[in-house]
Amino acid sequence: MARAYSLLDRALMGADRGLKTLTRGSSTASRLRPAGDNPSGALNSDQRRHAAGLMRINHTGEVCAQALYQGQALTARNSSVKAAMAEAADEEIDHLAWCESRLKELGSHTSRLNPLFYAGSFAIGAAAGAISDRVSLGFVAATEDQVCEHLKAHLQTLPEDDRDSRAILEQMLEDEARHASKAIESGGQRFSPPIKSAMTLMSKVMTKTTYHL
């Protein structure tokens, strides 16, 4: 029989997950990192810098996803929704680890703004979960849809020879699309265009800052 965790238990577990998310080198993938058909070719300094900027954005996006899922799991009412949030968060850890390892290979670093974005995303997730599970699942779907759009755009602008980063982003795109579909199938609310537009504006703040920082 599954143990019923109290709100305090879930808060403490969430805090532990938050610390691990924000501590470099602490995320361990459960799946092997995707690899291109051939090793990446040599990248010049501008290509490496651009690839690192894109991978940093995607890493921070996964930090935000962890925070959203943890916040939603804390306030979700339905046990199956809590379990779904926890399962999605576990899968997103792979993305965190993959992006961080690729950033290291590119000679770069994760964003210094991650703690700020984590805190904001956690608060948003907790608020969505407190409103209703339907809104919470809808927020997951809308967020994952935006992530998919970012990933598609990044795949278009990655240096052609950066096959390692491309393989990672392609697998992430597949995973995120599945999360979005599952959230709607589980009863998530489809958000209106104005709400999605506001979310897009917020995401632009993250992408423009973390590309450099």
List, as residue ranges, the binding site for Fe cation. Answer: 62, 92, 95, 144, 176, 179
- CA-nearest of 72, 27, 30 to 175 is 30
Binding-site residues: 62, 92, 95, 144, 176, 179
CA distance readout (Å), 48 to 7, 56, 127, 198: 44, 12, 38, 32
Alpha-carbon distances, residue 53 vs 56, 61, 81, 141 (angstroms): 5, 12, 34, 25
Helix residue ranges per DSSP H, 111-192:
114-131, 133-157, 163-185
